[in-house]
């Protein structure tokens, strides 16, 4: 992935999360109220100013149907998993392709006793650090690792930064694996399975194999495919919903949950009045898998 593309993809999703953090109904609000610190004014202002926000949401929904809603569900589900894993004893959190992930800062209290490694492309990582420093020193438990997944040795870079293989670790891999070559996806999962402590786990979202292969019939797929076709980086990795469990098992990881669009909507897009806030894209799902004992 080029530096410019890495920055754009990280900023675009952070902007959607930030807009979602202004939802009036807490039942469907994106918790990422800190994303605004990392995005340009062009993205942040329309979210902050109520009359502009009223125009922003229909624009998002027209350009990327289901994507704004998917990001609400994804942020909340991964937040829930993070807090559960840390509560259950994960001593390290590794955020792979961290972009403008704000979990280490939003949950600074809950993660105070946990070491957090934010791993990302050098360009995105440098921009994030600069933005953080403008707001004061980042928490002492966060370490930044700048690398290119396609070429770097993840294990060597993590070890050099203080990662300890024997400790229970929670890996977050949000919005990343679809951009990687299948061999890089394999290498990352193999790392989690072979070089993390007992009970370690990884949560990641993925896109369906069919959409990568050109079937754009699912909700929101045609618009997203058109957007990707204009950029430099296509999606490279996809896997079908029912394939995930055997795929992970063959790599030493036991699937704990696998949430497709219907379940994500049911859990995270139901308003306080019981109505559906909006559909989520039809081609994304979120898996959580644990290292076999």
Ligand X SMILES: C[S@@+](CC[C@H](N)C(=O)[O-])C[C@H]1O[C@@H](n2cnc3c(N)ncnc32)[C@H](O)[C@@H]1O
In angstroms, give the least distance from the CB of 131 to ligand X.
13
181 belongs to the binding site for ligand X (CB under 6 A): no
**Number of residues located near ligand X, criterion CB under 6 A:** 21
Half-sphere exposure of residue 55: CA atoms within 13 angstroms, side-chain side: 6
56 belongs to the binding site for ligand X (CB under 6 A): no
How far from 265 is each of 152, 167, 202, 271, 274, CA to CA, in Å? 37, 34, 22, 10, 12
282 belongs to the binding site for ligand X (CB under 6 A): no
* Closest residue by beta carbon to ligand X: 99
Nearer to ligand X by Cβ, of 228 and 254: the residue is: 228
Tokens of 272: 């306080």
Tell me the pairing of strands 115-120 and 142-146: parallel
66 belongs to the binding site for ligand X (CB under 6 A): no
Nearer to ligand X by Cβ, of 163 and 179: the residue is: 179
Q: Contact with ligand X (CB under 6 A): which of 6, 16, 19, 239? A: 6
Residues 168, 90 contacting (CB under 8 angstroms): yes
149 belongs to the binding site for ligand X (CB under 6 A): yes
* Interactions with ligand X, residue window 220-239 (CB under 6 A): none
Q: Contact with ligand X (CB under 6 A): which of 25, 110, 133, 150? A: 150
179 belongs to the binding site for ligand X (CB under 6 A): yes
In angstroms, give the least distance from the CB of 292 to ligand X.
26
9 belongs to the binding site for ligand X (CB under 6 A): yes
13 belongs to the binding site for ligand X (CB under 6 A): yes
Which of 181, 185, 227, 230 minimizes the C-alpha distance to 205? Answer: 185
121 belongs to the binding site for ligand X (CB under 6 A): yes
Q: Contact with ligand X (CB under 6 A): which of 36, 65, 66, 175? A: 175
**Neighbour count for residue 158 (Cβ, 10 Å):** 24
**Neighbour count for residue 258 (Cβ, 10 Å):** 17
In angstroms, give the least distance from the CB of 3 to ligand X.
8
E strands, the chain, in order? 92-96, 115-120, 142-146, 169-173, 201-207, 253-259, 284-291
d(CA 291, CA 64): 35
In angstroms, give the least distance from the CB of 114 to ligand X.
18
In angstroms, give the least distance from the CB of 11 to ligand X.
9
Q: Taking CB under 6 A as the rule, which mask of x and - marks residues 80-119 in contact with ligand X?
A: -----------------xxxxx------------------
Residues 161, 153 contacting (CB under 8 angstroms): no
> Residue 149 contacts by C-beta under 8 Å, 6 or more apart in sequence?
96, 97, 176, 180, 184, 188
Q: What residues line the site for ligand X (CB under 6 A)?
A: 1, 6, 9-10, 13-14, 97-101, 120-121, 124, 148-150, 174-176, 179
């Amino acid at each position: 992935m080029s530096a410019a593309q890495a920055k754009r993809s990280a900023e675009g999703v952070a902007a959607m999360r930030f807009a979602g953090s202004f939802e009036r109904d807490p039942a469907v609000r994106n918790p990422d109220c800190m994303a605004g610190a990392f995005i340009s004014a062009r993205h942040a202002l329309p979210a902050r100013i109520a009359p502009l926000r009223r125009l922003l949401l229909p624009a998002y929904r027209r350009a990327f149907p289901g994507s704004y809603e998917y990001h609400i569900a994804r942020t909340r589900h991964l937040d829930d998993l993070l807090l559960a894993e840390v509560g259950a004893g994960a001593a390290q959190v590794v955020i792979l392709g961290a972009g403008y992930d704000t979990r280490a800062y939003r949950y600074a209290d809950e993660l105070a006793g946990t070491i957090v490694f934010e791993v990302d492309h050098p360009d995105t990582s440098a921009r994030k650090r600069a933005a953080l420093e403008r707001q004061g020193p980042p928490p002492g438990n966060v370490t930044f690792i700048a690398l290119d997944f396609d070429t770097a040795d993840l294990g060597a870079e993590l070890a050099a930064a203080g990662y300890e293989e024997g400790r229970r670790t929670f890996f977050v891999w949000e919005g990343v694996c679809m951009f990687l070559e299948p061999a890089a996806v394999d290498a990352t999962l193999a790392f989690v399975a072979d070089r993390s402590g007992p009970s370690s786990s990884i949560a990641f979202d993925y896109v369906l194999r069919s959409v990568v292969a050109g079937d754009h019939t699912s909700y929101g797929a045609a618009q997203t495919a058109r957007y990707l076709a204009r950029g430099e980086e296509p999606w490279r990795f996809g896997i079908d919903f029912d394939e995930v469990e055997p795929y992970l098992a063959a790599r030493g990881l036991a699937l704990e949950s696998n949430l497709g669009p219907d379940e994500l909507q049911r859990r995270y897009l139901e308003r306080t009045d019981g109505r559906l806030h909006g559909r989520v894209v039809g081609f994304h799902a979120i898996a959580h898998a644990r290292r076999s004992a």
